[in-house]
Amino acid sequence: MFGVLVVKVADLQPVTFNVYRRDGFVVMDGLLSPQECDQLRQRMAEIVDEMDVPDHCRITFSTDHDEQLKEQGNADYFITSGDKIRFFFEKGVFDDKGEFIVPKQRSINKIGHALHAYEPLYKKVTHSPKVQVTKKLGLVSPVILQGMYIFKQPGIGGEVTPHQDATFLYTEPLGRVMGLWIALEDATVNNGCLWFIPGSHNSGITRRMVRTHKGTLPLTDFVGREQQYDEDKFVAVPVKKGGVVLIHGEVVHRSAVNTSDDSRHVYTFHLMEAQDTRWSADNWLQPSEELPFPPLYTK
């Protein structure tokens, strides 16, 4: 049976990073204090209370291959969100007229993709000295690609199908992207924690999301298909409030529908080692004049 190693951020040892390189992920407790988690959640509650999303921008977020093309692939609102803070909703939260049929605080799937740049509290956490444990993994010039808040709403928080982040965030060479997934509440098997296939980051990728030619629809398409994975190879990775999972860009992971009465709020952002790396111009996410990919290390 596979055992998930969990270490404390304050007690990092070289073996921690050996685990990351071997398995494609590692769990670390105590990146943020409970108070810091609560502050991030409170600020997000304020953002949701203040949100005003026009009807034509009420986009459902899905990781299903075909639904993703239908919803995000046809939506300029999605493809231009890299330098903005935008709202993406769960399925079934609007009526035929586009009005909410659930409280709007319970309607959101995620908010992204520039929280790390424009929201001071999230920017502070992203650039905090605690996060710079990435230096011990050999990241010399990491830049921040995107920042998101994921809600995993009670009872309706949608499934995230098996995928690799490099499908959406492709680099040459591969292996230059890392996700930091910070649990702002306990992430459990019941409320939709992540599941991984350990070691699956060593097999490359079989699918890419790419931009299509300008002026054509959909705005994005997939090249290749996600392969079928053996369910028995997935291992659950619960995370305590304030803990973080470091996620290799090619490791296969997923999460189930949240059928519990508890939410599973997460702040997550992705880094790319910029030194000797080419960011693909075909990726849906592109830096802009307003927001080039900012460096992680500010000093």
- The residues spanned by each domain of the chain are 22-279
Q: How far is CA 281 from CA 41, 148, 215, 284, 285, in A?
A: 34, 21, 16, 8, 9
For the chain, the farthest-separated pair of C-alpha atoms sits apart, in whole angstroms, at: 56
> Which residues does residue 187 pair with via DSSP β-bridges, in sequence order?
239
pTM of the entire predicted model: 0.92
- Each residue's pLDDT tens digit, 191-244: 999 999 999 999 999 999 999 988 888 889 999 999 999 999 999 999 999 999
> Which residues does residue 278 pair with via DSSP β-bridges, in sequence order?
172
- Site of tokens 């909410």: 100
Q: Per-residue pLDDT for 26 more than 70? A: yes
Q: Check residue 65 and give its pLDDT.
A: 47
- Each residue's pLDDT tens digit, 117-137: 999 999 999 999 989 888 888
Report the chain's mean pLDDT, rounded to a whole number: 90
Q: Check residue 57 and give its pLDDT.
A: 65
**Is residue 68 very low, low, confident or very high in pLDDT (cuts 50, 70, 90)?**
very low
DSSP string for 129-172? GGGGGGGGGT-SSEEEEEEEEE---TTTBPPEEEE-GGGTS-EE
CATH top-level class for 22-279? mainly beta
